[in-house]
């Protein structure tokens, strides 16, 4: 199974071991193997990693990255990037924080307003990208800077500070916090509800991607835009929808971090966008679009969370943290790439 040459169909041999080959050919297989490797490594190397309290920590760490990575993976499969995804998580939380603490808006209304604003910005991102034909990299970089500046300026202007304080005193805080910031203690381990959101988002994204028309269109617009247009795929709708999905996910993560910590800083989320892209790529997404998986991106985030917290559990000098993270991520990508090459018989 080294090379599949181009042969006419009649002479192409039946591929042996099809089920195994098919599993290995899935984009997320490499990430799964890498995740297991990382997990086994830290479980053996540290005593705390594979305990309930330990798992609670790395699952939480992975969850918010995971939600974003899944959304960003869909966008990347659709052939676009969103560099404003990171700052959007801070922006949505700030909208809620400012509306409630400064203007006394009902916290549920504020959350819904925040979602609407996020979706509108996502739609605008998508619309501008599609209308102008500019690379989404540039367009969303612009949005990123606009939002990052607005976050700081508006927060400072209205609150006189650079972080929202006093969220817990807002009426109905607890009622909404139950949805986004609550936790469950099992055997000494604290498990946040964000992990549930992460799993739910991954399941929905996988369903959409593999079993709906929208999913078919996402692969198509990312794989070959002109072809998709020619066969009648609603390209504009699909891409704008993807940008809106990403900003919607950023809203979810914004709410989770707001109600987990009851505060949000003006610089929250800045720089996180690349981590989402890294997780998606570790999870098997091609940077060029048209290929990838939501489960893979979720696994990519899991790897990131495990490495991030595992290094702390291992009590390594954290001056090396980024180096170790970078090395681990490279390894994961190599492993992933290697597994995929094997699986596809070198044809990709």
Alpha carbons 58 and 192: distance in angstroms, whole number: 11
The reply to whether 154 sits near another protein by the rule CB under 8 A is no
152-181 in b/e form (b: 16+ CB < 10 A) is beebeebbeeeebeebeebeebeebbeebb
Under rule CB under 8 A, residue 66 binds another protein: no
Nearer to another protein (CB atom), residue 63 or residue 125:
63
Size of the site for another protein (CB under 8 A): 89
Q: Which region, judged by CB under 8 A, interacts with another protein, from 98-106, 111-119, 277-285, 331-339? A: 331-339
Q: Which two tokens stand for residue 105?
A: 């808006």
Residue 107 contacts another protein per CB under 8 A:
no
Closer of 45 and 274 to another protein (Cβ)? 45
Closest CA to 309 of 130, 42, 104: 42
Residue 257 interacts with another protein (CB under 8 A)? yes
1 binds another protein per the rule CB under 8 A: no
Region near another protein per CB under 8 A, out of 98-106, 111-119, 126-134, 163-171: 163-171
Residues 28-47 that bind another protein (CB under 8 A): 33-34, 36-38, 40-41, 45
Residue 224 found at the interface with another protein (CB under 8 A): yes
| Closest CB to another protein among residues 120, 287 | 287
150 binds another protein (CB under 8 A): no
Q: How far is the CB of 109 from another protein (least distance, A)?
A: 22
Nearer to another protein, 125 or 336 (CB): 336
Selected binder of another protein within 127, 142, 236, 263 (CB under 8 A): 263
* d(C-alpha 121, C-alpha 146), whole Å: 11
270: left (phi over 0), alpha (psi -120 to 50) or beta: beta
- Residue 216 to residues 80, 127, 233, 271, Cα–Cα distance (Å): 16, 21, 9, 31
User: Among 187, 196, 212, 287, which residue sits at the site for another protein (rule: CB under 8 A)?
Assistant: 212
3-class secondary structure, 199: helix
Rounded CA-CA distance 247/91 in Å is 10
Q: Which is nearer to another protein, 10 or 133 (CB)?
A: 10
Q: How far is the CB of 71 from another protein (least distance, A)?
A: 18
The binder of another protein chosen from 323, 337, 341, 346 (CB under 8 A): 323
**DSSP bridge pairs for 185:** 190
Q: C-beta of 72: minimal distance to another protein in Å?
A: 18
Contact call for residue 211 and another protein (CB under 8 A): yes
DSSP alpha helix (H) spans, 46-183: 52-77, 85-103, 107-132, 136-159, 173-180
Q: Is residue 8 a contact residue for another protein (CB under 8 A)? A: yes
Q: Which residues contact 312 (CB under 8 A, 6 or more apart)?
A: 318
By CB under 8 A, tell whether 274 contacts another protein.
no
Using the structure block, give the residue that is written with the tokens 């993807």. 242
Give dist(CA 194, CA 11) in Å, integer: 52
Q: Nearest CA to 310 among 280, 318, 65, 256? A: 318
The number of beta carbons lying within 10 Å of the beta carbon of residue 99 is 20
199 binds another protein (CB under 8 A): no
Asked if 220 interacts with another protein (CB under 8 A), we say yes
Among 167, 244, 277, 306, which residue sits at the site for another protein (rule: CB under 8 A)?
Answer: 167
């Amino acid at each position: 199974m080294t090379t599949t040459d181009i042969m006419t169909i009649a002479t192409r041999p039946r591929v042996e071991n099809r089920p195994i080959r098919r599993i290995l050919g899935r984009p997320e297989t490499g990430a799964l193997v890498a995740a297991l490797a990382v997990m086994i490594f830290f479980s053996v190397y540290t005593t705390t990693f594979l305990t309930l309290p330990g798992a609670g920590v790395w699952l939480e760490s992975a969850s918010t990255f995971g939600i974003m990575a899944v959304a960003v993976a869909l966008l990347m499969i659709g052939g676009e990037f969103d560099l404003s995804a990171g700052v959007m998580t801070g922006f949505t939380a700030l909208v809620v924080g400012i509306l409630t603490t400064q203007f006394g808006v009902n916290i549920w209304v504020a959350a819904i307003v925040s979602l609407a604003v996020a979706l509108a910005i996502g739609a605008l991102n998508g619309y501008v990208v599609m209308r102008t034909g500019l690379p989404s990299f540039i367009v969303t970089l612009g949005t990123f800077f606009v939002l990052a500046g607005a976050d700081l300026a508006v927060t400072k202007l209205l609150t006189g500070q650079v972080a929202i304080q006093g969220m817990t005193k807002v009426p109905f805080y607890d009622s909404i916090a139950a949805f986004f910031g609550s936790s469950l203690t099992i055997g000494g381990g604290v498990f946040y509800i964000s992990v549930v959101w992460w799993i739910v988002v991954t399941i929905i994204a996988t369903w959409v991607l593999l079993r709906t028309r929208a999913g078919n269109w996402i692969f198509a617009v990312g794989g070959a835009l002109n072809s998709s247009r020619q066969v009648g795929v609603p390209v504009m709708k699909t891409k704008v929808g993807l940008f809106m999905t990403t900003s919607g996910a950023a809203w979810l993560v914004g709410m989770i971090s707001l109600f987990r910590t009851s505060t949000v800083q003006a610089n929250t989320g800045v720089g996180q966008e690349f981590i989402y892209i890294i997780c998606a790529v570790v999870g098997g997404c091609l940077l060029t679009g048209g290929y990838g998986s939501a489960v893979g991106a979720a696994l990519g985030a899991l790897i990131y969370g495990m490495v991030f917290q595992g290094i702390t559990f291992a009590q390594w000098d954290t001056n090396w943290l980024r180096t170790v993270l970078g090395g681990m991520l490279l390894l994961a990508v190599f492993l992933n790439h290697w597994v995929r090459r094997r699986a596809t018989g070198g044809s990709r």
